[in-house]
Amino acid sequence: MRSSIGLGWVLGMLLAAPAQARSPEQHLAAAITFPTISHESTTEFDVAPFLALHAWLETTYPQAHRVLQREKIAAASLLYTWPGSDASLAPILLTSHLDVVPAPDPESWTHPPFAGVIADGFVWGRGALDDKAGLVATFEALESLAGQGFRPRRTLLVAFGHDEEVGGEQGAGAITQRLEAAGVRAWFSLDEGMAIAEAGATTLTDLPLALIGVAEKGYLTLKLTARGAGGHSSTPPPSTAIGRLSRAVVRLEERPLPARTQGVVSDMLSAVAPHTGGIQRLVLAWPGLFGPLIGARLAKEPSTNALVRTTTAVTMIDGGIKANVLPREAAARVNFRLLPGDESAEVIEHVRRAIDDPEIEIEVETASEASPVADVESEAFALLSQVIEESAPDVIVSPALVVGGTDTTHYSKISDNGFRFLPIRFGAKDFERVHGRDERLSVENIRFAVTFFERLVRRAAGEPEVAVRIGGALRSP
C-alpha cells in the first residue's frame, strides 16, 4: 500500500465548491480526476485517491450527506443508509463502484485519462462509463431529493465498493457481509452491467434496446499441464510436453460446449420478437421451438455467441526455457464463462472428455458459479421497466444476460432480484471504450442518468402506493 496526493485530486476538490453551482457533467469530470485504480496485485493498491474521493463526495453533496447515514467498509468502500418511515418494507439497494481499471498508453488518448476534460459534448476520462457515471448520477439524484425535502417510505441503501474491477471481495463482499449480519433482505438491487443499446448497436432489433441484466455468467479458470522427461533437443521424443499440450488445446477449441437458448436468452428473445417483422418475428417468438436455428445464428458472432453457451478461451500458455532444451513442463490457462445452469464440475468433465489425454493434468485456479436469475415476472422488475419506459419512451425493455462480472455477484446473496442496468445509451462503438482508450460519456447521457435515478427512487421508495403493471393487472408492491 502506498500513499500520495496528486494535482488531479486537488483540482477535483476545487471543482467541488460550491456544489449547487456545478452541473452533473462538471461533477463527473471532477470525479474522474481521482485515479482510484484497481490493480491485479494487491501490493499496488493506493488508498489515498479513494479517501480523497470520499472527502470530495461529502463536500460536493452536503444535502445528501445530511440525510444519509454513512459507513466506511473495509479499506475504501462506502455504505449509506437513508432510513424509511415504514420499517416493514424491504429496502432497495443501489450500487456502483469507485474503482477503475488502469489506463495504459495515456499519451494515445485524445484527452489525458485522469484530466476530467469536458469537450465536444462529452466528459472524457477513465471511469466516465465504468462506473463513475453511476456514482455521480446516484449522488446527484439523492442530493436533489434531499434538497427538496423528500422522505423515503422504504429504506434506501446505497453501496459503493472499491475493488469491483478485481472481483469485489474486499468491497462489495464486505458490504454484503455487513448487511447479512444485520439481517437485510433487499426488495431489489440495481447495479451497472447493462445499458440502453442504441439503434444499430445490436443485431436483434433496429430499435433502442434497454437491457436489464437479470443474471451474470460464472467464471472458471483451469490450468492444463503436460510434463516430459526433458533432455537435449537433438534427440527428441515423437511429441514434447508442448506438443501434447498443443493437441489438448486444439481439441478443446474444436469441441465447444453446446449452445442453449433457454432461460434468460429465451426471455430476451421473446421481449424483442414483437418489435421485429416477418420470419424473424416468428422465429424469435418461439425460442423453444426454433432454439437450434437461433443458437446457430447467434453463435456466428463472438458477442452473441457468449449469450448462448459457456465459452472457452485459451488465454495464457507457457513452456520451455531454451531453444535446444526439451521442456519438462508446459502449461495453459483456459477461462470459461459459465451460463446459468452450467456448473464448474460439469465443465471440468467436458474438458476431460474433449482433450482425451489422461496425462494432461487439470487444476482449478479460480471458480465462481453463475449468479441466480432474477424474476422477470416480479413486481420489482415491472417497476424498473416502467421507470425506464417513462424515462425513455422510445426503447424496448428486455431482460438480458451479463457476460462479464459485476458486484451483484456478492449483492445477490441479500436479494433475490439483482438487476444490472446503468441508465445511459451506448452506441455500437461505445462498447470498445469500456476498459479501452478514450473512454467518454456524453453530457446528455449523464443528465439523463440523474433524472432516471431521481424518478426511480421516488417511485420505488417514495409514494405509499406505487402501481405497477403485471400481466395486465395493476398491483402495488
- Residue 17: pLDDT band (50, 70, 90) is very low
Higher pLDDT, 126 or 302: 126
Q: Which of these is catalytic: 130, 140, 163, 164?
A: 164
| pLDDT reading at 64 higher than 50 | yes
Share of the chain above pLDDT 70, in %: 89
pLDDT, residue 13, reads 47
Q: How far is CA 418 from the centre of its chain?
A: 12
Position 372 confidence tier, pLDDT thresholds 50, 70, 90 = very high
Q: What's the CA gap between 405 and 395, in Å, rounded?
A: 25
Of 25, 99, 130, 140, the catalytic one is: 99
Check residue 30 and give its pLDDT: 97
State the distance between the two ends of the chain, measured CA to CA, in whole angstroms.
46
CB under 8 Å to 409, separation ≥6 — which residues?
Answer: 168, 172, 216, 368, 371
Contact yes or no for 53/34 (Cβ under 8 A): yes
The closest of 242, 418, 267 to 327, measured between CA atoms, is 242
Between 202-211, 294-303, 348-357, the lowest mean confidence (pLDDT) is in 294-303
Question: Residue-wise over 83-96: b if at least 16 C-beta within 10 A, else e?
Answer: ebeeeebbbbbbbb
List strands edge to edge, sheet with 440-442: 117-119, 122-124, 440-442
Statement: residue 200 has pLDDT above 90:
no
Which residue do the cell numbers 431529493 mark?
145
| pTM for this entry | 0.88
Q: What is the pLDDT of residue 22?
A: 82
pLDDT at 125 over 50: yes
% residues pLDDT > 90 (the chain):
77
Half-sphere CA count of 82, side-chain side, radius 13 A: 28
Half-sphere exposure of residue 430: CA atoms within 13 angstroms, side-chain side: 22
Please report which confidence band the pLDDT of residue 277 belongs to, taking 50, 70 and 90 as the band edges: low
Evaluated on CA atoms 127, 191, 212, 367, the torsion sign reads positive
Structural domains of the chain sorted by starting position, each given as residue range(s) with its CATH number in brackets:
7-214+372-475 (3.40.630.10), 218-368 (3.30.70.360)
Tell me whether residue 267 is one of the annotated catalytic residues: no
Mean of pLDDT over the chain: 90
pLDDT level of residue 274 (50, 70, 90 thresholds): confident
86 is annotated as an active-site residue: no
Asked if the model's pLDDT at residue 4 lies above 60, the reply is no
pLDDT at 314: 97
Three-class DSSP category at 329:
strand
Q: Are 378 and 468 in contact (CB under 8 A)?
A: no
| pLDDT score of 467 more than 80 | no
Q: For the purposes of burial, counting CB atoms within 10 Å of the CB of 120, is it exposed (0-12), middle (13-18) or buried (19 or more)?
A: exposed
Q: Is the pLDDT of residue 159 over 50?
A: yes
pLDDT of residue 322: 95
